[in-house]
Amino acid sequence: MPLASLLCLAMALPLLSPFVRGGTWWVPAFVMMAAVAGVSALYRSPGRNAFPVPFLQALAVLALVTPLFAGHLAPLGLLPTKDVVAHLGTTLEQGAHTIDVSAPPVSASSGVMLIIALCLALFMMAADFLAVTARCPGMVGVLLLTLMAVPLVLDGSGVGPLPAIACAGGFLVLLAVDAWVRGREWGMRVPDAHDSSAGVSEAVRRVVTVSLTSAVAVLLALTVPLALPSLRTDVFHTLADGTYIGTGGDVITTTHPLVSLRRDLASSSDRTVLTYRTDAEEPDYLRTYVLDEFDGVNWTMTPVNASNDTRVDGELPLPTGWGSAPSEDTVTTRISLDAESPRMDFLPLPYWARSVEVSGEWYADPGSHVVFSTNSPPTGLSFTVESVDRRPTTEELADTGDPRSLPGDHRDLPRDLDPRVRELTEALTEQARTPYERAMALQEYFTGGSFTYDLAPPAVPGDADPLVHFLLEDRIGYCEQFAGAMAVMARQAGIPARVAVGYTAGERMGDGRWAVSVGDAHAWPELYFEGAGWVRFEPTPASSAGQGSASVPDYARGEREGGPVSPGTVPEEPEVVPTETARTPEGNEEPAAEEERSPSPSGDEEPEDETDSSVAASEHGPRSGADLSWLPAASAVAIGLLLLVLPALVRALVRWSRMAALSTDDARAAHIAWRELRDTFLDLGGTWTSTESPRAAAERMARGGPVPERSGSRSTGPMSGSARRPVSRETVAALGRLALAEEAARYAPAPLPSEGLREDLRTARAGLVSVVGTGARARAVLLPRSLAPWRRPRPSPTPEPLTS
Amino acid sequence: MSLDTHHGGRGGGAQTDVEEIVAVADRVRGAMETVIGGKPEVLRLTLTVLLAEGHLLIEDVPGVGKTMLAKALGRAVDCSVQRVQFTPDLLPSDITGVSVYHQDRHEFEFNPGPVFANIVLGDEINRASPKTQAALLECMAERQVSVDGRTHALERPFMVVATQNPADMKGTYALPEAQRDRFMARVSVGYPAPQAELDMIDSHGARSPLDALAPVTDAVRIRDLADKVAAVHVAPGVRRYIVDLVNATRTSPELRLGASPRATLHLVRAARAYAALHGRHYVLPDDVQALAVPVLAHRLLPGPEAQTRRRTPEQIVAGLVAHLPVPGPR
């Protein structure tokens, strides 16, 4: 039996082979597994108690680790000295690191081999326990499924047919060996009569049952996942402060862009996030994420794909809307991320980055041109990026017509968008003829002075649409609201739009480097123009009364001002910031702006823990956050409660249906009543064996109730159970009648009449319940053991002490 | 707790038959209990074998009432009882009988031996020579005696109650397996409980209670009841259970020799009688379980491993019974 489970797991090993380079990775793993199985086989063969087996197996594994992985250090190649332990520690660490940083297949370094070997040894121990000690070889299938899940989780390629067949074959061998061992212990059961037609129909019935069950299982496996909400919209995932991004390819987890943005904005520090050196005079913003889906409240990111096609090796894909790769105005920027900052899964890059030189594995999304990593890159990363700083002129933009060349629709808006948004957009763009003019009109609406920049905007009333509230009611917000609202209105006006998130250019330092601090985190809209591609606009007020380091591109400055007047300045308002400030974001107003931002009220702390995944166009008052956050928590609690009472519900349903079925045909009624009695007894903590006849079982129940009998007390009869509460006389009589009905139904030529069975069952149940303690009663209700298949009777595998 | 509740009219004729069996058996048992007190299981098994028309092997130390048991049975049932004391010089013809030549009539006349009786008590059967043992055992199996080419049928009921003494094996010829196999069941009487022994001092003090024992039934009645026992229902599941159990003795690694097909038949017959004695017209796995040790154990030979671990065949059979699943719902 232990050897069969070894064979079974060994045949599952090819499942892992696509993920490790090199042919010999499985050798140490196999040696360890063989040792585990061997220990089990040797120790058990004289029929000893199975209890110490796992400990002996663990010892064997520990003893093997040294010669296999640190033999050159250890004296005699065996003894684990301090050096050996240290060496194993570092090996393990290296292995973990290798697995962390590299995509499969990983190279078979000794660390990786050690990890694989230890894991598989653990698996082997579990399989040995399940198949030999617990005698449930079917449960080994769960372990195999776990192994099979490894390739499914690591990449979408799935499992090859040959390893899958090998794995299934191994499992079947294990089951067959188990059946054979049982048969040898017992002698085979005498098969049912073959000659009669009943035997044939029985066989047919079995085949039909098995095929039907399998068909239903396959059907469920295929359809249920379709009906379930996919993982990334699942409420459970938004409960965590991270989200799943990615479909089809590798699933990557990252801190959600907006959550981290708000955290950055809300944090009071002006800690430097990154520094860079560039040969551009006026560096552009650094983009990190692009949010291109709007659901009415939030801007979110389309899942990005990490596949081998999109892997970054030098050149990045050409941006949408540009005819050819321009060669002019190449800017080289060397960016160093701060070692203290949290690691970034997305690289902050200028737009459009033509090539990136960066260590590690990075992928570029061709649509949004964000560059991201699937495994956590190290902090303090430095990389060089070559970008093309191509800014369209006002004339170019003014000439563009309706966008046609854009793949995918970036003009989608939710159907139930408030009509006032449309009315407002139409009113603002009434005079505009071209898309560019419409965009300018929208930007002017935000920068025109009627909006107030505030990092801690007041709460949105619970019933208000956050977007409408921001646009028409309070007009207070920060970059997210500005960027999100403008993008929505641009879409409304027929211009493809999306929201980019990242950092402003930051502040020039004395030595020619630029420093970007936490406070420079920013969001802005990108609008698409035919021929010019995606173009950045800036609706957020700049200067000390707004996002201090924000800058407005030349093409987005209003012409009416007749010059480089910042749209951030508001003519009507006296505290207008001088134009220079806006143009030179590295100006000395920056500290003031930081200070203004720094005393962010504590209300803004709340979004950090907010479970809602992303809110961009909405306001983030504490109120609105609270409105949304109770829902997942409440549903989690509800689901938890449901899970808690689920077993009780199922059990109650089973009991109800059995009670209802008691009035049927006599023999069946007796069987049903007896089965219900058995399950009740199991629920209450009793044990049940299939070697006990109804009569013997009823006598045992009447003697001791559901308290598990000690093996010694079984033979000494009723006197031994003095500690137990006695079962009442009515219960004993009811148990007797139930047993009599069952044995008559099983063994007599004609069953007894079924009347009275229901009352007897109730009496017996009440009597059995009354003799156990409160704890056992509660457990019987909440965790009915009769639902667990392993509690069901089956022949015990080893001889027990005799009762004679 | 007693589950021996009689069915209300459902069994039809079978049930009334069974009730008759119970009534007669209770009378016989009551009569025997005046002689052998405190041994209800032994008495029940004896009656079971009687009704199943088998033979009984009583194996115990001297003086516990082996012979008394057999005699009490013979007295309680009004039938012919013969007793044979087996000694090494006993000849086969001493059991079966001989043909004697009558000079006046010029012909051979058959003088029936002690085996021509309803109940034959073979005392210390293992003291006789194998040849004599074989002669008796042949009669047991075939229920007829062949002497000088003529066959004489034995009268029903025919039951051999043989005793043997396991303690003093000097000068004995232990029964070979093939001959032990012909006994339906083996019991050991065992020492009486202290209270039963006290009662025994009173009852056996002046004269044997055997003398006061009046017959409560007769051979014809027993024959009739034995026919009715054969009609007791054995469900297919229970049949399979019996075969499974016998098979398990054949495949058990602890046993060198398993039970024979004859053992299967004996077990079924005994189980029928046992069920009828309990007032049931159908056999339960419980009946089979209760009879497994007495019916099977004396036919088995433990393997070397079981011998070194001092596991007796009784223990092994009990272990098999404890692990064989009972037949479930149909």
The residue-averaged pLDDT of A299-327 equals: 70
Q: What does the pLDDT average to over A375-402?
A: 76
Q: What is the mean pLDDT of chain B?
A: 83
Three-state SS sequence of B234-290: CCHHHHHHHHHHHHHHHHCCCEEECCCHHHHHHHHHHHHHHHHHCCCCECCHHHHHH
Q: How confident is the model at residue B270 (pLDDT cuts 50, 70, 90)?
A: very high
Tell me what pLDDT residue B269 has: 92
Helix or strand or coil: residue A341?
A: coil
Q: How far is CA A625 from CA A242, A254, A614, A621, in A?
A: 17, 21, 11, 6
In the three-class reduction of DSSP (H, G, I as helix; E, B as strand; rest coil), residue A335 is classed as strand
Record: contact A691-B315, CB cut-off 8 A: no
Local confidence band at B266 (pLDDT 50, 70, 90 cut-offs) = very high
**Strand pairing report for A286-291 and A497-503:** antiparallel
A796 CB neighbours in chain B (<8 A) are 323
Asked if residue A600 has pLDDT above 50, the reply is no
pLDDT at A544 exceeding the cut of 80: no
Q: Is the pLDDT of residue A85 over 70?
A: yes
For B180, the enclosing helix (H) or strand (E) is helix B177-180
What are A289-309's pLDDT values in tens digits? Answer: 788 777 777 777 777 766 666
Q: What pTM was computed for the model?
A: 0.49
Model confidence over A103-160: pLDDT tens digits?
Answer: 556 666 777 788 888 888 888 888 888 887 777 788 888 888 888 777 776 665 666 7
Q: What's the rounded Cα separation, in Å, for the pair A197 and A194?
A: 8
Cα separation, A541 vs A316, in Å, equals 32
Would you say A376 and A317 are in contact if contact means Cβ atoms under 8 Å apart?
no
Strands B56-59 and B159-164: parallel
Mean pLDDT of A533-560: 72
User: Of the given ranges (A52-56, A554-558, B256-260), which has the lowest mean pLDDT?
Assistant: A554-558
With cut-offs at 50, 70 and 90, classify the pLDDT of residue A232: very low
Would you say residue B267 has pLDDT above 90?
Answer: yes
A295/chain B closest Cα distance in angstroms: 60
| Residues of chain B contacting residue A674, judged by C-beta atoms under 8 Å apart | 329
What structural domains and CATH numbers belong to chain B?
Answer: 54-227 (3.40.50.300), 230-330 (1.10.8.80)
Length of chain A: 804
Amino acid type, A260: S
Contact yes or no for A555/A393 (Cβ under 8 A) = yes
* CB count in 10 Å sphere of residue A479: 26
Does any CB of chain B come closer than 8 Å to the CB of residue A46?
no
Q: Select from A729, A285, A280, A322 the least CA-distant residue to A513.
A: A280
| A804/B314 CB distance under 8 A | yes
CB–CB of B330 and A746 under 8 A?
yes
* Mean pLDDT, rounded, for A325-336: 75
DSSP β-ladder status, A507-508 and B159-164: unpaired
Q: Residue B247: is its pLDDT beyond 60?
A: yes
pLDDT band at A576 (very low <50, low <70, confident <90, very high): very low
Percent share of chain A, pLDDT over 90: 0
B318·A744 Cβ contact <8 A:
no
Nearest by CB to residue A747, choosing from B3, B250, B282, is B282
- pLDDT for A182-229, tens place per residue? 776 665 555 555 555 666 777 788 888 889 998 998 888 888 777 665
pLDDT confidence of residue A558: 60
Confidence check: pLDDT of A423 > 60: yes
Say yes or no to pLDDT of B218 above 80: yes
Q: What are phi and psi of A286, to 5 degrees?
A: -105, 120
Confidence of residue A95 (pLDDT cuts 50, 70, 90): confident
Comparing CA positions, the residue from A761, A759, A756, A716 lying closest to residue A735 is A761
Closest Cβ–Cβ partner in B1, B247, B318 for A804: B318
Contact A747 B235 (CB under 8 A): yes
CA distance B131 to B90: 9
For residue A61, is pLDDT > 70?
Answer: yes
CA-to-CA distance for A714 and A607, rounded, in angstroms? 64
pLDDT at A589: 41
- pLDDT for the residue numbered A714: 39
Tell me the chain B residues in contact with residue A186 when contact means C-beta distances shorter than 8 Å: 244, 248, 251, 323-324
Torsion angle of C-alpha atoms A80, A83, A85, A89, degrees rounded to 10 = -150
Domain limits, chain A: 2-187, 229-620, 645-791
DSSP 8-state secondary structure symbol assigned to residue B43: H
- Per-residue pLDDT reduced to its tens digit, B127-149: 888 888 888 888 888 888 887 77
State the virtual CA torsion across A22, A23, A24, A30 in degrees, nearest 10.
120
Residue A45 contacts B where some CB pair is shorter than 8 Å: no
pLDDT-based confidence at residue B330 (cuts at 50, 70, 90): low
Q: pLDDT confidence of B242, banded at 50, 70, 90?
A: very high
pLDDT at A78 over 80: no
pLDDT at A585 over 70: no
Q: What are phi and psi of A291, to 5 degrees?
A: -105, 120
B165 or A707: which leads in pLDDT: B165
B240/A732 touch (CB, cutoff 8 Å), yes or no: no
The model's confidence at residue A231, banded by pLDDT at 50, 70 and 90, is very low
Highest mean pLDDT among A237-246, A290-299, A317-326, B266-275: B266-275
pLDDT tens, position by position, A675-690? 888 888 888 888 887 8
Chain A residues in contact with B324 (beta carbon < 8 A): 186, 691, 795
- Min Cα distance A795 → chain B (Å) is 6
- Residues of B within 8 A of A746 (CB-CB) are 235, 237, 327-330
At A342, is the pLDDT very low, low, confident or very high (cuts 50, 70, 90)?
A: low
End-to-end CA distance of chain B: 27
Q: Which residues pair with A761 in a beta bridge?
A: none
Q: Does the distance separating the beta carbons of A802 and B251 come in below 8 Å?
A: no
Q: How close A663 gets to chain B, by Cα (Å)?
A: 18
Instruction: Please say if the pLDDT value at position A707 is more than 70.
Output: no
B200: left (phi over 0), alpha (psi -120 to 50) or beta: alpha
Average pLDDT, whole number, for chain A? 72
CA nearest to B288 within chain A: A693
Chain B residues with CB within 8 Å of chain A CB: 1-3, 5, 7, 10-11, 14, 233, 235, 237-238, 240, 243-244, 247-248, 250-251, 280-286, 289, 293, 314-315, 318-319, 321-330
**Backbone φ, ψ for residue B182 (5° rounding):** -80, -15
CB-nearest partner of B244 from A187, A749, A796: A187
Nearest to A693 among B11, B285, B330 (CB): B285
Q: Please report which confidence band the pLDDT of residue B97 belongs to, taking 50, 70 and 90 as the band edges.
A: confident
- DSSP label at residue A382: E
A747 and B CB contact within 8 Å: yes
Are A30 and A166 spatial neighbours (Cβ–Cβ below 8 Å)?
Answer: no
pLDDT tens digits along A615-664: 333 444 444 444 566 777 888 888 888 888 888 888 888 888 888 888 77
